[in-house]
Structure 1
Amino acid sequence: MRAVKLFLINSLLSLAGSLSLRMAQKLGSSLGWLLWKLPTKARDVTDINLSICFPEYSEQQRAELAQTSLQQTGMTILEIPLMWERPVEECLNLIQQVEGEELINQAQQDGRGLILLAPHLGNWELAGLYFSSRYKMAALYSPPNIAEFEDYMIKVRGRLGSELVRGDRRGLARLASILREGGIAGILPDQSPRGKGNAFAPFFGMEVKTMTLVSKLMQRTGARVLMTYAERLPNAEGFRIIIREAQPGLDDKDPVTATTALNASVEQCVRALPEQYQWEYKRMRHRPPGIENPYKPGQIC
Structure 2
Amino acid sequence: MTDLAARLLHLFATALARLPWRWLMRLGDGLAAWMLRRNTRESRVVRRNLELTQPQLPAAARDDLHQRIVRTTARQALETLRMWTRPHAENLGLIRQSHGVDLFDAAIAAGRGVIVAAPHYGNWELLNQWLAAHTPLAILYAPPESAVGDAFLRLVRADDAQAARVTQVRAEGPGVRQLFKLLKDGGVVGILPDQQPKQGDGEFAPFFGVPALTMTLLGRLAHRTGAAVVFAWCERIDAHDDGPGFALHIEAAPPAVADADPVVAVAALNQTVERIARRDPSQYQWTYKRYTLQPSGNWDDNPYKGIR
Deviations 1:75-95 (A, max 9, x none): 111012212211121111111
CA distance in 2, matches of 1:181, 1:22: 45
Q: Distance in 1 between matches of 2:25 and 2:127?
A: 17
- Aligned match of 1:184: 188
Contact 1:2–1:146 at 8 Å: present in 2 too? no
Give the C-alpha shift of residue 2 in structure 1.
Answer: 5.7
Match of 1:31 in 2: 31
Match of 1:294, SS? Answer: coil
Do the aligned residues in 1 keep the contact of 2:6 with 2:152 (CA within 8 Å)?
A: no
Q: What is the aligned partner in structure 2 of residue 68 from structure 1? A: 68
How far is the alpha carbon of 1:283 from its aligned partner?
0.5
| Alpha-carbon separation, structure 2, partners of 1:11 and 1:269 | 35
Inter-CA distance 5–105: structure 2 relative to 1 (3 Å threshold): closer
The match for 2:303 is 294
Aligned length: 297
- CA contact under 8 A between 2:141 and 2:171: conserved in structure 1? yes
CA distance in 2, matches of 1:73, 1:200: 27
Q: Which amino acid aligns with 1:21?
A: W
**Counterpart secondary structure, 2:134:** coil
- Specify the alignment match of 1:248 in structure 2: 255
What's the TM-score once normalised by structure 2's chain length?
0.89
Q: Does 1:230 align with 2:237?
A: no
Percent identity, aligned pairs only? 38
Does structure 1 conserve the Cα–Cα contact (< 8 Å) formed by 2:5 and 2:148?
Answer: no
Q: CA deviation at 1:66?
A: 0.7
SS of equivalent residue, structure 1 residue 145: coil
Higher mean displacement: 209-218 or 32-41: 32-41
Post-superposition offset of 1:7? 5.7
Residue 226 of structure 1 contacts residue 243 of structure 1 at CA under 8 Å; is this kept in 2?
A: yes
Spell out, residue by residue over 1:163-198, the C-alpha distance to the aligned partner (whole angstroms, 9 max, x if none). 111111111111111111212111111111113131
1:169 equivalent in structure 2: 173
> CA 1:4/1:86 → structure 2, altered by over 3 Å: closer, same or farther?
closer
Mapped to 2, the partners of 1:116 and 1:163 lie a distance apart of 14
Structure 1 Cα separation of the partners of residues 139 and 49 of structure 2: 28
Residues 123-272 of structure 1: matches in 2 within 5 Å?
Answer: 123-159=123-159, 160=162, 161-236=165-240, 237-272=244-279
- The answer on whether the counterparts of 2:7 and 2:152 sit within 8 Å (CA) in structure 1 is no
Q: Secondary structure at the match of 2:255?
A: coil
Per-residue CA deviation, residues 111-142 of structure 1 (Å, 9 max, x unaligned), is: 11111111111111000000110112110112
Identify unmatched segments of 5+ residues in structure 2.
none
Structure 2: which amino acid aligns with 1:100?
Answer: G
SS at the partner of 1:275? Answer: helix
Q: Which amino acid aligns with 1:114?
A: V
Letter of the aligned partner of 2:140 in structure 1? L
Structure 1 residues 84 and 198, CA gap change in structure 2 (3 angstroms): same
Maintained 8 Å contact 1:36/1:66: no
Structure 1 residues 60 and 31, CA gap change in structure 2 (3 angstroms): same
The residue that corresponds to 2:55 in the other structure is: 55
The one-letter amino acid paired with 1:295 is Y
- Superposition deviation, residue 246 in structure 1: 2.3
Contact 2:24 2:79 in 1 (8 A): yes
The one-letter amino acid paired with 1:242 is: H
Q: Aligned partners of 1:158, 1:84: CA distance in 2, in Å? A: 9
Task: Tell me the CA shift for residue 148 of structure 1.
Answer: 4.3
Distance 1:258 1:3 in 2: 39
CA contact (8 A) 2:6 2:151 kept: no
Q: Deviations over 1:263-288 (max 9, x none)?
A: 11110110012111111111011110
Q: 1:296 to 1:145 in 2, by over 3 A?
A: closer
Q: Which moved more, 1:50-59 or 1:90-99?
A: 50-59
* Displacement of 1:4: 7.7
Assess if the C-alpha contact under 8 Å between 1:36 and 1:42 holds in 2.
Answer: no
Instruction: Give, as a single letter, the amino acid of the residue that structure 1 aligns with 2:178.
Output: R
- Whole-Å separation in 1 of the counterparts to 2:193 and 2:249: 16
| Higher mean C-alpha displacement, 50-59 vs 118-127 | 50-59
